[in-house]
């Protein structure tokens, strides 16, 4: 099974012609729904076919109740800690060109406790992959990764968002780290002291990318997602995961992407599910599956609602 430890937000989305300027009051088309990186990734893992549990913190309010119905609809085992804070929220403005401005109110997500994460030992015993992001307190993320390793599961860290603090100790707890280009550049600058522009990452040659990944996570596997280009994988020699090569690119599928919101969440949930399903298969196979799953998610609007199902991925791309 897959355990996702992370955030749940009520997304409030306003589509406007232009983003509001300071002091301005403008009109926009409003929509609301469940979101948050943790929730989106749990939905992706579940729809990719994994038995999935989602460990999070919810407020005793309408937002908290909003989490339960969609989680149940996707068969997700929701393990919510009751928080005294309001359920997490995101205020999202999107302009006509698809550019956005986002404000997150962490609320309950900021109170997720390490003890709650490790409170369900029976859950951890059955886990193949534990997947965490950085929209939760560092202590909870550390507890999740450490518990994964103790249980013999793969500890996977999606280091998002890019501006969230990370410590060297946190990275050391992860078997697999999955930054996008912006997060990769942030981690390199913070932990390796190397500067690279996010826009320049995809164009770097494999050997240079591999060298940078090895400095970032000497013992494990780094997967850098490269948007429409696909993904770059770098393994430590001792963490080859069924692959013959230590580094390689896996090309993205060509689709008519209309909304890439949540593409990274789709990729992470699907990669965790694929790993849990067939840990003995070469890692490159799982990354190809995650590329396919994420590609389909970009053809539909939104994040969690846009996640495809395993059957759709098979029907579109074959096995
Ligand atoms: P994020 O959403 O975190 O910025 P990326 O943009 O790197 O993450 O996208 C994650 C994954 O989604 C990519 O590795 C790729 O598999 C898929 N993807 C994203 N954009 C496209 C696209 N335009 N066409 C096909 N696949 C895409």
Q: What is the DSSP string of 248-286?
A: EEEEPPP---S--TTHHHHHHHHHHHHHHH-TTS-HHHH
Give, in degrees to the nearest 5, the angle at Cα 108 between 107 and 110: 75
Query: Maximum CA pair distance of the chain?
Result: 57
pLDDT at 119 over 90: no
* pLDDT of the residue at 42: 98
Q: Closest Cα to atom 10, ligand 1: which residue?
A: 264
Residue 235's domain is classified under what CATH number? 3.40.1190.20
What digits encode the pLDDT tens for the residues 11-38?
A: 999 999 999 999 999 999 999 999 999 9
Q: Closest Cα to atom 1, ligand 1: which residue?
A: 264
Pairing of strands 129-132, 154-157: parallel
Average pLDDT over residues 250-272: 95
Quote ipTM for the complex. Answer: 0.99
Q: For residues 77 and 302, is the Cβ–Cβ distance under 8 A?
A: no
Q: Is 81 helix (H, G, I), strand (E, B) or coil?
A: strand
Q: How far is the CA of 291 from the centre of ligand 1 (A)?
A: 7
Give, in degrees to the nearest 5, the angle at Cα 229 between 266 and 299: 45
Two tokens at 113? 């406790």
Beta bridge partners of 100: 94
Q: What is the chain's mean pLDDT, rounded? A: 96
Relative to the CA of 230, which ligand 1 atom is closest?
14
Rg (CA), the chain: 19
Relative to the CA of 226, which ligand 1 atom is closest?
7
d(CA 110, CA 38): 13
Of all residues in the chain, what percent carry a pLDDT higher than 70? 100
What digits encode the pLDDT tens for the residues 174-219?
A: 999 999 999 999 999 999 999 999 999 999 999 999 999 999 999 9
* pLDDT of the residue at 115: 94
What digits encode the pLDDT tens for the residues 99-118?
A: 889 999 999 999 999 999 99
pTM of the full structure: 0.97
* pLDDT of the residue at 137: 97
- Per-residue confidence band for 98, with pLDDT thresholds at 50, 70 and 90: confident
Number of domains composing the chain? 1
Q: How many CA atoms lie within 13 A of 168 on its CB side?
A: 9
* pLDDT of the residue at 288: 98
d(CA 132, CA 4): 6
* pLDDT of the residue at 296: 98
Average pLDDT over residues 253-265: 93
d(CA 192, CA 186): 10
* pLDDT of the residue at 99: 86
pLDDT at 302 over 90: no
According to DSSP, residue 180 is labeled B
Q: How far is the CA of 197 from the centre of ligand 1 (A)?
A: 18
Catalytic residue positions, numbered: 265
The set of residues, in sequence order, having a beta carbon less than 8 Å from that of 21 and lying 6+ positions away, is: none
* pLDDT of the residue at 122: 84
The alpha-helical segments, DSSP class H, found in the chain are 37-47, 62-73, 114-117, 121-125, 138-150, 168-172, 181-187, 206-216, 263-277, 283-297, 310-317
The set of residues, in sequence order, having a beta carbon less than 8 Å from that of 287 and lying 6+ positions away, is: 223, 231, 233, 250, 271
* pLDDT of the residue at 275: 98
Q: Closest Cα to atom 8, ligand 1: which residue?
A: 264
Q: How far is the CA of 290 from the centre of ligand 1 (A)?
A: 10
Relative to the CA of 181, which ligand 1 atom is closest?
7
Domain hosting 11: range is 2-317
Ligand 1 pocket, CB under 6 A? 180, 225-228, 230-231, 252-253, 255, 257, 260, 263-264, 267, 291, 294-295, 298
Relative to the CA of 292, which ligand 1 atom is closest?
16
């Amino acid at each position: 099974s897959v355990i996702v430890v992370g955030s749940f937000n009520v997304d409030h989305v306003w589509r406007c012609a232009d983003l509001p300027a300071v002091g301005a009051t403008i009109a926009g088309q409003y929509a609301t729904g469940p979101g948050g990186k943790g929730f989106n990734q749990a939905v992706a893992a579940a729809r990719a076919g994994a038995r999935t549990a989602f460990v999070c913190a919810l407020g005793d309010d309408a937002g908290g109740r909003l989490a339960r119905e969609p989680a149940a609809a996707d068969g997700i085992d929701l393990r919510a800690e009751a928080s005294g804070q309001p359920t997490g929220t995101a205020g999202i403005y999107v302009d006509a060109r698809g550019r956005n401005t986002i404000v997150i109110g962490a609320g309950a997500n900021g109170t997720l406790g390490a003890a709650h994460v490790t409170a369900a030992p029976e859950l951890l015993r059955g886990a193949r992959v534990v997947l965490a992001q950085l929209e939760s307190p560092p202590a909870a993320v550390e507890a999740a990764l450490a518990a994964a390793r103790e249980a013999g599961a793969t500890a996977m860290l999606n280091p998002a968002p890019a501006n969230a603090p990370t410590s060297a100790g946190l990275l050391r707890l992860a078997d697999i780290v999955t930054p996008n280009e912006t997060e990769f550049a942030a981690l390199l600058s913070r932990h390796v002291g190397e500067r690279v522009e996010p826009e320049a990452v995809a164009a770097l040659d494999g050997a240079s990318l591999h060298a940078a990944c090895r400095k970032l996570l000497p013992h494990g596997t780094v997967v850098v997602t490269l948007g429409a280009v696909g993904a770059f994988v770098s393994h430590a020699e001792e963490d080859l995961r069924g692959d013959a090569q230590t580094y390689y690119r896996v090309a993205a599928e060509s689709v008519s992407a209309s909304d890439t919101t949540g593409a990274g969440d789709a990729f992470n949930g699907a990669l965790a599910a694929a790993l849990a399903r067939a840990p003995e298969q070469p890692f490159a196979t799982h990354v190809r599956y995650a590329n396919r799953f994420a590609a389909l998610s970009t053809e539909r609007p939104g994040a969690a609602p846009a996640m495809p199902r395993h059957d759709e991925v098979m029907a579109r791309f074959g096995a």
